[in-house]
């Protein structure tokens, strides 16, 4: 890694608020320690190029001959978020080890406007990164999810800023080994005064403006500067919490996100705390989205089916079978049975006692399981009037229409319990 590259990393990592997994923060400090030009002379290790995460999924070539920014197959586009996150830059691939919010945003816009793309997967394996720019990208994810389904797959890490992006998706899917969370902010300051003194280097700062050199690395932080930096961190933390709450809705409130205290959860633990929705794999999500977005009557699509095919060899073709009405009816019946069981388990749970109104609202107006609903109900005072739960797509649409501001959504006329229950169980296909 060149000295210029090290300086670029240092500029982004030191004295700047980061939404980053703490282990990654320590790695960055270790990588920079003693390696900045002008401070030490140790040799640097080149960055290892990472393989492209979606190299074996779909193709960037569309039916009309153009090439898109993201690979797609069966109407499902995949945007890989692999590596550390930075605000600006043309990093779209994984070769640099960095990926930018700007690049991800360009891929999202491209997929959103692509008529061949019916759904989007965010394929995430990232420890997080810069705080600046994360909230804006998460808002874009929420807005696009209101137009096309966006599913975030934690494959196998979505920490800090990466989780902030994932929170804007309609669903978050984790594996048994996924690391999810780290909802927090860190700012690192390196005091190199002793190191420089040992090398006989004395630095003099000549400046105008009392705060011009706040946080410089040539001495310890003063109490006043430390307080200012802590205040900056807390402001970014508040933005982070609001971003997560806007994306997760009733599944993870601002208070619940703050209560995690930046913990990282393994696998399905994240589901119990409202950070994720289900356990699955990238392949399962891709197949489910392809099936759910396929036009009635079925279509023939070309899908790359093997990982060992030569680049110049034609991709294998698969022809999904046309949907069968009897199978659809059976699936609907099975889903209705499962939904009734879910509602019953919430309404008859111990946590629902004395909180029947809240339990009814959660059972009929969200997709929470009984396990996910229990901590929400336990946090509510018995006998309290249930809050109106605004569906996430309606809230996102209201925010997008107002330029992303937090505007109140007018209350809908309240439907009866019977009406809401009927809405949960659609009739069979004729």
Burial 2-17 (b: 16+ CB within 10 A, else e): eeeebeebbebbbbbb
Q: What is the pLDDT of residue 12?
A: 60
Q: Per-residue pLDDT tens for 102-145?
A: 999 999 999 999 999 999 999 999 999 999 999 999 999 999 99
CATH superfamily, with its number, for domain 1-323: 2-enoyl-CoA Hydratase; Chain A, domain 1 (3.90.226.10)
Clarify whether 80 is annotated catalytic. no
pLDDT digits 0-9 by tens, 170-224: 999 999 999 999 999 999 999 999 999 999 999 999 999 999 999 999 999 999 9
CA distance 14 to 8: 10
For residue 412, what pLDDT is reported? 45
Residue 402 has a pLDDT of 45
Longest dimension (CA), the chain: 86
How far apart are alpha carbons 24 and 125 in whole angstroms? 13
| Residue 189, C-beta contacts closer than 8 angstroms, at least 6 positions apart | 14, 15, 215, 217, 221, 229
State how far the Cα of 402 lies from the Cα of 353, in Å rounded to an integer. 39
pLDDT band at 251 (very low <50, low <70, confident <90, very high): very high
Domain boundaries, the chain: 1-323, 324-430
Question: What pLDDT is stored for residue 419 in this prediction?
Answer: 57
d(CA 223, CA 221): 6
The per-residue pLDDT for 193 is: 94
Cis peptide bond N-terminal to 159, omega within 30: no
Q: What is the pLDDT of residue 390?
A: 46
Q: Phi first, then psi: give them for residue 175, nearest 5 degrees.
A: -100, 180
CA distance 189 to 14: 6
Residues 6+ apart with CB under 8 A from 272: 371, 372, 375
Q: Say if CB 47 and CB 1 are below 8 A apart.
A: yes
Measured N-to-C along each axis, helices 223-248 and 392-401 cross at an angle, to the nearest 10 degrees, of: 120
Q: Which residues 6+ apart lie within 8 Å of 208 measured at CB?
A: none
Q: Using an 8 Å Cβ cutoff, are 264 and 177 in contact?
A: no
The CA distance from 177 to 279, in Å, is 10
In this structure, what are the phi and psi dihedrals at residue 407, rounded to the nearest 5 degrees? -100, 150
Report how far residue 113's alpha carbon sits from residue 168's, in angstroms, rounded to the nearest whole number. Answer: 18
Q: Strand, coil or helix: what is 61? A: strand
pLDDT in tens, 275-310: 999 999 999 999 999 998 877 655 434 333 223 333
8 Å CB contact between 374 and 352: no
Round to whole Å and give the CA distance between 17 and 32.
17
Total count of residues recorded for the chain: 430
Closest CA to 219 of 239, 204, 237: 204
Highest mean pLDDT among 51-55, 75-79, 304-308: 75-79
350/373 Cα distance (integer angstroms): 11
Phi/psi for 62 (5° steps) reads: -95, 170
311: left (phi over 0), alpha (psi -120 to 50) or beta: alpha
Q: Please check whether residue 165 is in contact with residue 138, taking contact to mean a CB–CB distance below 8 angstroms.
A: yes
Judge whether residue 25 has pLDDT over 70.
no
Per annotation, catalytic residue among 160, 167, 178, 182: 160
């Amino acid at each position: 890694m060149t000295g210029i590259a090290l300086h670029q990393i240092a500029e982004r990592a030191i004295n700047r608020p980061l939404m980053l997994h703490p282990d990654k923060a320590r790695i960055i400090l270790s990588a920079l320690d003693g390696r900045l030009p002008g401070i030490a002379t140790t040799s640097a290790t080149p960055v290892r190029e990472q393989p492209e995460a979606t190299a074996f999924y779909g193709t960037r070539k569309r039916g009309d001959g153009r090439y898109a920014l993201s690979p797609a197959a069966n109407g499902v586009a995949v945007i890989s978020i692999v590596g550390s996150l930075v605000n600006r830059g043309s990093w779209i691939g994984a070769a640099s080890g960095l990926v930018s919010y700007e690049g991800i945003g360009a891929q999202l816009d491209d997929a959103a406007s692509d008529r061949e793309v019916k759904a989007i997967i965010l394929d995430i394996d990232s420890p997080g990164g810069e705080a600046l720019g994360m909230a804006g990208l998460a808002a874009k994810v929420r807005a696009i999810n209101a137009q096309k389904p966006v599913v975030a797959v934690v494959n196998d890490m979505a920490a800090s800023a990466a989780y902030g992006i994932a929170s804007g998706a309609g669903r978050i899917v984790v594996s048994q080994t996924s690391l999810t969370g780290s909802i927090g902010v860190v700012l690192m300051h390196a005091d190199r005064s002793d190191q420089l003194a040992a090398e006989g280097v004395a630095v003099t700062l000549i400046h105008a403006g009392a705060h011009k050199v706040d946080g410089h690395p040539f001495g310890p932080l003063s109490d006043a500067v430390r307080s200012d930096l802590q205040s900056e961190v807390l402001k970014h933390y508040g933005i982070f919490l609001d971003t997560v709450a806007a994306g997760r809705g009733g599944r993870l409130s601002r208070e619940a996100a703050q209560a995690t205290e930046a913990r990282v959860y393994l696998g399905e633990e994240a589901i119990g705390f409202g950070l994720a929705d289900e356990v699955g794999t990238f392949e399962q999500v891709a197949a489910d989205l392809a099936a759910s977005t396929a036009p009635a009557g079925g279509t023939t699509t070309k899908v790359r089916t093997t990982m060992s095919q030569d680049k110049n060899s034609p991709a294998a073709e698969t022809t999904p079978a046309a949907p069968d009405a009897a199978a659809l009816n059976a699936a609907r019946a099975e889903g209705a049975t499962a939904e009734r069981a879910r509602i019953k388990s919430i309404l008859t749970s111990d946590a629902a006692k004395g909180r029947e109104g809240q339990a009814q609202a959660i059972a009929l107006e969200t997709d929470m399981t009984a396990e996910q609903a229990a901590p929400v109900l336990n946090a509510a005072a018995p006998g309290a009037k249930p809050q109106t739960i605004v569906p996430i797509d309606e809230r996102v649409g209201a925010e997008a229409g107002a330029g992303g501001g937090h505007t109140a959504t007018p209350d809908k006329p309240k439907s009866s319990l019977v009406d809401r229950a009927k809405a949960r169980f659609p009739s069979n296909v004729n």
